[in-house]
Amino acid sequence: MSISTASRVVILGGTSGIGLATAKAAAAVGASVVVASRNPASVKSALAELPAGSVGRAVDGSSTEELAAFFEFAGDFDHFAYTAAGPLVSTPLAEYTADKGRAFFELRLVAALNAICLAVPHIRPGGSITMTSGTAAFRGGAGWFLGAAASGAIISAARALAVELAPIRVNVVAPGVVRSPLWSELSEVDREAMYDSIGHRLPLGRIAEVEDVAKAYLQLMDQDYATGTVSVVDGGTILV
């Protein structure tokens, strides 16, 4: 089902960064939007930026009970995007612990798959699911093995789910470095230095803005003959 004024779009992680940009893009084409994240203040702030009629709710994505209640609250919808993610930090193998591994995968993979499981009964015929990976799935780097592992797992899961859940479409967006709250653990000086350093090395000469990436989510919702695909939005990151 292509996205239209009759569409209802649910975005978990939709109150900031890429998720909020995707919500705004969906609303701009007339879709009704439901956003959710853990932080009630973030939900309130997002709704202030979205058109009247948009709906938001605070939900703990690690809680099956809260997720189930959220999807009951959302009702039936056409498109579901999972963009929830915590701040990114480098973790060299020498600093790895089992607890760090569990925490990293809990939000990005375990909670994502749980959310999809609970969302599916509410997705209308012809609807879609869009998951979030990253270019680390294709090009790793020192200190980023957790991100690479989670990103690769998301892509593999989506391809399997595209077959299992058909005719619901399941796709993935894999951004490169994006100017977003994902890097909030870095100081502003370090963050801007990283953006400049990476941007200057890319073929397109800059890192992505959240609006660049949001276009990929909308395209995958709208393209009703795409499933099991990965939309890489990276400014040429994996080429250099």
One-letter amino acid at 202 equals L
Find where tokens 């760090």 sit: 100
> Where in the sequence numbering do the catalytic residues fall?
133
Pairing of strands 169-175, 230-233: parallel
Sheet holding 32-37, edge to edge: 55-58, 32-37, 8-12, 77-82, 123-132, 169-175, 230-233
Tokens of 57: 């709710």
* Residue pair 18/134 in contact by the 8 Å Cβ criterion: no
Gap between the Cα atoms of 151 and 92, Å rounded: 17
Gap between the Cα atoms of 59 and 162, Å rounded: 26
